Structure 1
Amino acid sequence: MIDQELAQLESVYQTIIDFLVRYSFQLVGALIILLLGLWVAGRIGKYLFKALELKGLDITLAHFIANLVKIMFVAITVMIALGKLGISITPFVAALGAVSLGAGLAIQGTLSNYGAGLAIILTRPFVLKNTITVKGYTGIVEEINLATTVLMNEDDERITIPNRHIVGEILKNTNQSSLVEGEVGVAYGCDPEQAIALIEVTLMAIADVQQQPAMKVGIGAFADSGITICYRFWVPTPQFHQTKFAANLAVFKALQQAGIEIPFPQREVRLLSTKDAG
């Protein structure tokens, strides 16, 4: 029994020795190719990222391109190393294709997010710190990932949107500003030009109101109870609501101090007697 086990061990040992003698140079060559390829891929990735960053390319897109080139170089290195050992990579490619198909069907939604993220990174409909509105949500772009885009609003709420809900949708990009719109009614007996000039001066005195694009103030409508004066101006997105509230209060006080009447809604009701109705 012991003699048989020793014979088996000797046979295995001899097989290993024969393999190493026959393929030692191929193994050493494949290992050197693999290690050298990994080192070169890392260097190429870092160099490419720095070059793209110096060119002013968006950091997310630069990371993506550098990592993609690195992965491609590593894949080529692995194929060369396997070929050095005399191993055919055709079965591995076929197996990888089958696994990829099954995984793709299982995670179709996730893959669509990654595809949409790639489209966003390549086409750049917005970049970091832009103010965008999509699917009814508005915020400043804080992160652009392959699967999701993260927005932050004025209330410090973190809004994570899957990228498939951004690509193909109506997207509003106002860079780093937001538009404030307001309106106030003045009585028909007032001078509308005086009211417009007063509102313009009042809004210009507010610190966060941007001078470019220029604000717009004018008659928006002729309502039942008075003339509606509309005003539109731009502010930095993080100060949107606080500036809007401050502007409305300042306009109200300015009109009051100038003696310009803000009318109440009025309705005229006429009662007809039975005799009059006949």
Structure 2
Amino acid sequence: MPADKLSAYRAKRDFAKTAEPSGEHQPAPAPRRRFVVQKHDASRLHYDFRLELDGVFKSWAVAKGPSLDPHDKRLAVEVEDHPLDYGDFEGIIPEGEYGGGTVMLWDRGYWEPDGGQDPEEAFAKGDFKVRLEGEKLRGGWVLVRMKRNRPGDKRTNWLLIKHRDEFARDGDGAAILDQDRSVASGRSLDDIAAGSGRGPKPFMNPGPVGRPDAVWGQEPEAPRPPQRAPKAPPKPRPAKRAAPARAPAPPKRTARKAQ
């Protein structure tokens, strides 16, 4: 993989301050291309749509999230390529760093080019048809590169559109976003931000489940040993009551002998 594919990604991050993957580690190749969608609560809430292609994740920021309604054309802003091991990232990017905020692994799975296209040629052409096989997103989709950007746009804009198939939902396409739990850990964004619940199960890198309280770029404080409450002094036992004095028994009478 050419080193310059991740140059823009690395230039935006200070890896002395954030522990996001630098791309030096390359996950083992899989028999099928992988995709992930990460819900990212940064300065603006959005969904990061990532497709594995030629050794990296081609990536787009989808402000409103994907829709299953073919009538909905979601703006997808192309961002820098990301390393493949980013596909296991669920946690917190420290505040003040690029993209600082909470990240959830919202969906993941496999994809293939649709219609027999060569994926590299389709991406270069700007008419990128794919079929997804995820836990939430399935069926045909297309990414269409817009010919003209809006004034002031510094990035390339695309449209993410659902193809009409058995997975399409007319008029109710955004309802898929109500499935608002991580596919890797079952947690909500609030759970992830609090470091509670179980850690994310890896997908790109086989290995142990990640820490639920992982804050990328800083180590959590060591847990303090629980302090035992001092033992209360023993309660004084009540004094035994003296037994009541018994009245003396009357003297026994002796029978008198007859005179």
- Mark yes or no: TM-score above 0.5: no
TM-score scaled by structure 1?
A: 0.17
Q: Of Structure 1 and Structure 2, which has the larger fraction of its residues in strand?
A: 2
Higher RCO (C-alpha under 8 Å, 6+ residues apart) = 2
Q: Of Structure 1 and Structure 2, which has the larger fraction of its residues in helix?
A: 1
TM-score scaled by structure 2?
A: 0.18
